[in-house]
Amino acid sequence: MGDFIVSARKYRPQTFDTVVGQKSITNTLKNAIKNEHLAQAFLFCGTRGVGKTTTARILAKTINCFNRTEAIEACDSCDSCESFNSGASLNIYELDGASNNGVEDIRNLIDQVRIAPQLGDFKVYIIDEVHMLTPSAFNAFLKTLEEPPKHAIFILATTEKHRIIPTILSRCQIFDFSRIKVKDIADHLVDIAKKENVKAEPEALHMIAMKADGALRDALSVFDQIVTFSENNITYQDVINNLHILDYDYFFKFTEFADKEDIPSCLLLFNEIVENGFDSHNFINGLSSHYRNLLVCKNPKSADLLEVPDGIKDKYLKQANEIDVNIIMRALNALSKADVSYKSAKNQRLLVEVCLMELCSLKQEQEKKKP
């Protein structure tokens, strides 16, 4: 137990090139370092766990490295790199804006900023969750941010860009970190599973990636949890059981029943889902995504928008072929209505059941409308 390190920490990228899914940002930073054109104040925005702190640390290490590589990466072996790697460098200062958000904290920081670095060229100040600073702390900070000493670089990070005041925004170079694509997360997990000698079905890792909703850290935490559960052999079934996800198969079945206008089978299947403890609002949204996936599969061009494992992609293409595009559109419409009314409905189960019956009747309605 003693030496277990969570994957999110163990696999924090150490170079620009190993940061997943943020190429335009890491390339811009590398070019700025190469051309000695680095800004002194940055704002890194984006949702949780997409690489903001990681990139800030890599930047700090790289600009202080004595032997930067041709590819503008830190050498990882000079004195400065070693002090960074052991967490002992005095050239990086991380302040958590959520817990140190008062004027006094910022004054302490400003006092520090005046002191030039002992080793290396730059001191990098990372202020995480910067939107949590109080207005007076912000004000105390403005002057320093506008005219920092030559050796100081500020990296402000936030998950809530809209809460940053314009006077700060206009003094920073802004980088918007993107959510990471399902495929990129899944590939990253495959890599890590290999390194950890964990056997894993590709569909299982893909499912974890989907569930992470763009945040790589979340994906890694879930991965750890399921590794423990499955004793180093992750199956698709483990993942859906653990994450309480409805198997794709359910949605394929519903769509098939609806196509056959088989109301009883639909209702029985829904009953099974409820009895297994699944939330019926999530069910409605899952079924909507399913029809959305069928819709994008109607055209080979948009089929690329499908973010599912390859084996399941074939099933989508097949089912999409069997169902009329008008029926898909109407199904989406009915589901969207159910989604909107769900919260305010007194009898939510009935609402879903009526919606399912509607899905089973779409063909009939369409027939009726024909002249």
Ligand X SMILES: Nc1ncnc2c1ncn2[C@@H]1O[C@H](COP(=O)(O)OP(=O)(O)OP(=O)(O)O)[C@@H](O)[C@H]1O
Binding-site ranges for ligand X (CB under 6 A):
8-9, 11-13, 19-22, 48-54, 128, 157, 159, 180, 216-217, 220
Shortest distance in whole angstroms from residue 70 CB to Zn ion: 13
Rounded Cα gap, residues 182 and 270, in angstroms:
28
Give counts: helices (H), strands (E), the chain. 18, 7
Closest CB to ligand X among 15 and 336? 15
Shortest distance in whole angstroms from residue 98 CB to Mg ion: 11
Closest CB to ligand X among 157 and 356? 157
Q: Which does 220 bind (CB under 5 to 8 A by kind): Zn ion, Mg ion, ligand X, none?
A: ligand X
Q: Which does 290 bind (CB under 5 to 8 A by kind): Zn ion, Mg ion, ligand X, none?
A: none
Shortest distance in whole angstroms from residue 148 CB to ligand X: 22
How many residues make up the chain in this entry? Answer: 371
Closest CB to ligand X among 217 and 363? 217
Site for Zn ion in 110-139 (CB under 5 A): none
Q: Which does 280 bind (CB under 5 to 8 A by kind): Zn ion, ligand X, Mg ion, none?
A: none
Q: How many CB atoms lie within 10 A of CB 64?
A: 25
Q: Which does 65 bind (CB under 5 to 8 A by kind): Zn ion, ligand X, Mg ion, none?
A: Zn ion
Is 184 exposed, middle or buried, given 0-12, 13-18 or 19+ CB atoms closer than 10 A? middle
Q: Which does 60 bind (CB under 5 to 8 A by kind): ligand X, Zn ion, Mg ion, none?
A: none
Shortest distance in whole angstroms from residue 54 CB to Mg ion: 8
* Residue ranges in 214-324 assigned as alpha helix (H): 216-230, 236-242, 248-259, 263-275, 280-296, 310-322
Question: Phi first, then psi: what are they for 277, rounded to 5°?
Answer: 90, 15
Rounded Cα gap, residues 303 and 294, in angstroms:
9
Q: Return the ∠ at Cα 45 (arms to 57 and 286), rounded to 5°.
A: 115
Q: Is 145 in the site for Zn ion (CB under 5 A)?
A: no
Closest CB to ligand X among 12 and 161? 12
Rounded Cα gap, residues 74 and 16, in angstroms:
9
Which tokens belong to 57?
Answer: 């640390």
Closest CB to ligand X among 221 and 348? 221
> Who's near 58: CB < 8 A, 6+ residues apart?
13, 14, 15, 16, 19, 26, 74
Shortest distance in whole angstroms from residue 189 CB to ligand X: 11
Closest CB to ligand X among 48 and 194? 48
Closest CB to Mg ion among 95 and 331? 95
Q: Which does 21 bind (CB under 5 to 8 A by kind): Zn ion, ligand X, Mg ion, none?
A: ligand X
Using CB under 5 A, count the residues that bind Zn ion: 5
Q: Give the C-alpha distances (Å, rounded to integers) separating 112 from 43, 224, 246, 304.
A: 20, 39, 53, 51
Closest CB to ligand X among 52 and 123? 52
> Who's near 53: CB < 8 A, 6+ residues apart?
94, 126, 128, 157
User: What residues line the site for Mg ion (CB under 5 A)?
Assistant: 52-53
Shortest distance in whole angstroms from residue 51 CB to Mg ion: 9
Q: Which does 320 bind (CB under 5 to 8 A by kind): Zn ion, ligand X, Mg ion, none?
A: none
- Measuring CA to CA, which residue among 251, 270, 258, 236 is closest to residue 351? 270
Site for Zn ion in 54-113 (CB under 5 A): 65, 74-75, 78, 81
Shortest distance in whole angstroms from residue 128 CB to Mg ion: 5
Shortest distance in whole angstroms from residue 215 CB to ligand X: 7
Check if the beta carbon of residue 20 is closer than 8 Å to that of residue 185.
yes
Rounded Cα gap, residues 205 and 203, in angstroms:
6
Check if the beta carbon of residue 164 is closer than 8 Å to that of residue 174.
no
Catalog residues that contact Zn ion under the rule CB under 5 A. 65, 74-75, 78, 81
